[in-house]
Amino acid sequence: MSIQARRRVARRAVTIVTATVAAGAVAPLSAAVPAEAAGFRKADTGARILSHRWLNKGKTAFDFDVSSPSLGAVQRVRVLVPKGWKSRSNRSWPTVYAYHGGRDNFTSWTRPRNTDLPALARKWGVMVVMPEGANGSYTNWYNNGRGGTPKWEDFHLREVRQLVERNFHAGGARATMGISSGAQGACTYPGRAPGMFRYAACFSGVLSMSSPGIPALLMYTNSGNNQNPFAIWGIPWIHKANWDAHDPIALLPRMRGTRFYISSGTTGKPGPFDPPNMKPWDIGLISERAIGMTAKEFAARARVLGIPVQTHIYGNGRHSWPYWKREMHTAWPSMMKALGAKRVR
């Protein structure tokens, strides 16, 4: 085939794909649609959608790839869409941003062994956006004061948010929820961007970074991720100002417009979802006890400041998904109320 013939075929293919998208059709299962065909709008940073693909025949969920200047990399985002969602629509939907824990990825909230979030969200007129967070600790890294990549906060709060709002009809009524390090992010972001989130649900997250033993716990955890733990927020006793600037409890005065749901275990003992003969030195038990103390401190401080907070400090229980699934179901109705989301049939 000649070069001219190849070009004619390529032009015809682009025309067909563009017409299909414009008509409201969607990509076949597992087939990626190039961003150029869909005409996606960029984020203010220049972040752009490279492609997107539906994940099931029911077209209730899709992934999209982002070329992110804030990260200097391509990362993926998963989206659950509500009933009635259409690519060509004049309306938007309340949106929940769900953040995963450390040593995990953007798929964690949709694994059946973890949660039933897709089925739960489908009962409501709400979108759920689950961006990759890697082991980035939900912050723009300090990097010894130099800044630079990775900028996970900018990726989540600017790039992902703008891309889903400009291209997929995510609305301005926003909530955030997370587990473990994702819970720390969910309860930090409302203070880093006041007014952005109406509601934050934080399940087993460190909510007071300066509490006794917590800096050491965070350094230990992050060093296990094959990264320099001091690159994230700096050295605790030297770069305290930067630690405080990302500490949920220190940010509480900036979060008066957000309602909170806080939950954690506190005893370091097995709970109803754990084998009763678990060893007391299990890291999931030890870490939950330390995290639980920060949840209690955060909740007490929020009440002093008059910030609405609902708590479930449940005592026994390991740092694990069965408890987080239960807490998600408990927090969900008040989250939906805060967003103004309605049940659908």
Output the pLDDT for position 224: 82
How many distinct structural domains can be found in the chain?
1
Asked if residue 47 belongs to a domain, the reply is yes
Q: Rounded to whole angstroms, how far apart are CA atoms 94 and 172?
A: 7
Q: Rounded to whole angstroms, how far apart are CA atoms 86 and 71?
A: 30
Q: Rounded to whole angstroms, how far apart are CA atoms 118 and 116?
A: 6
pLDDT score of 255 more than 80: yes
Confidence of residue 131 (pLDDT cuts 50, 70, 90): very high
Output the pLDDT for position 345: 84
Asked if residue 333 belongs to a domain, the reply is yes
Average pLDDT along the chain: 91
pLDDT score of 51 more than 60: yes
Q: Rounded to whole angstroms, how far apart are CA atoms 273 and 275?
A: 7
Beta strand pairing call for 48-54 and 33-34: antiparallel
Specify whether the CB–CB gap between 318 and 270 falls below 8 A.
Answer: yes
- In CATH, what number is assigned to the domain containing residue 181? 3.40.50.1820
Q: Which of 100, 94, 95, 45 is nearest to 76 (CA)?
A: 100
Asked if residue 8 belongs to a domain, the reply is no
pLDDT score of 24 more than 90: no
Task: Choose the weakest-confidence range: 15-29, 294-308, 315-329.
Answer: 15-29
Read off the pTM. Answer: 0.90
Asked if residue 345 belongs to a domain, the reply is no
Q: Rounded to whole angstroms, how far apart are CA atoms 332 and 176?
A: 11
**Residues constituting the chain:** 345
Output the pLDDT for position 119: 98
Beta-sheet strand order (sheet of 127-131): 33-34, 48-54, 61-68, 73-80, 127-131, 93-99, 170-179, 199-203, 259-265, 309-315
Output the pLDDT for position 212: 93
Asked if residue 10 belongs to a domain, the reply is no
- Model confidence over 197-228: pLDDT tens digits? 999 999 999 999 999 999 999 999 898 878 89
CA–chain centroid gap for 147, Å, is 22
Three-state secondary-structure class, residue 39: coil
Output the pLDDT for position 318: 98
Helix (H) or strand (E) holding 293: helix 283-304
Mean pLDDT of the region 93-114: 98
Give residue 90's identity as a one-letter amino acid code. N
Give residue 170's identity as a one-letter amino acid code. A
Structural domain of 171: 31-339
- Model confidence over 279-305: pLDDT tens digits? 999 999 999 999 999 999 999 999 999
Asked if residue 3 belongs to a domain, the reply is no
pLDDT score of 44 more than 80: yes
Confidence of residue 36 (pLDDT cuts 50, 70, 90): low
Q: Rounded to whole angstroms, how far apart are CA atoms 252 and 301?
A: 8
Asked if residue 109 belongs to a domain, the reply is yes
Beta strand pairing call for 61-68 and 73-80: antiparallel
Asked if residue 4 belongs to a domain, the reply is no
